[in-house]
Chain A
């Protein structure tokens, strides 16, 4: 089975940097995904890590440590539109198990 933990909510101010952590305990782990979900909408794909290390994609970066069962999503230069839920998901064999999501509120 899979167990994924991430904080329920976080707050930050516009222009700041925020790090959303995720820990996982899984069987058959193939990689770690991050998705963004705005209220009332479906998730959109942000990043994927299969190897240890940092993957950078513009303002968003994601890090993975397989030995520690740990990942984080780093958001830089926060904008108001970044207010959303961020879902950590562990990839198994062709399936994903989602965490409960971290609600990020960006304030002016």
Chain B
């Protein structure tokens, strides 16, 4: 159990376009999903925490109007990178919380590699 999928696996887009990334919990319901970004050889950086049916909570320095998050159901959260620029090129990873053995464990999707030309 606790499988998280992400789509697409990779995307190349032109500067100024918008890209939508989907994150799904396949075999469990996730009240909370998280979006991370990771640049090469750097640590995972939390961008936002997404709760089903409410507005996402963004980390300091993350522009909420640029990175739109929608958590419409207990199994799906989406991240839209609006007006993407080359500096947005990164590895975007989502995770979903799964309650097991008295703890809330985050399971990660496989990630989406975004390249903005």
List residues of chain A with CB under 8 Å of any chain B CB. Answer: 30-31, 33, 35, 40-45, 48, 50, 87, 91, 94-101
Contacts between chains A and B (CB distance < 8 A), count: 49
A45: chain B residues at CB < 8 Å are 105-108
Docked CA distance A35–B103 (Å): 15
B42 interface contact, C-beta 8 A: yes
Contact of B44 among A41, A44, A94, A98 (CB under 8 A): A98
Q: B108 contacts A101, CB within 8 Å?
A: no
Task: Identify which of residues 97-116 in chain B touch chain A, using a CB-to-CB cut-off of 8 Å.
Answer: 97, 101-111, 113
Q: A43 contacts B105, CB within 8 Å?
A: no
Size class of the B contact interface (CB-based, 8 Å):
20 to 34
Q: A42 contacts B110, CB within 8 Å?
A: yes
Q: Which 5 A-B pairs have the closest CB atoms?
A: A42-B108, A42-B111, A100-B43, A98-B44, A42-B93
Q: A94 contacts B93, CB within 8 Å?
A: no
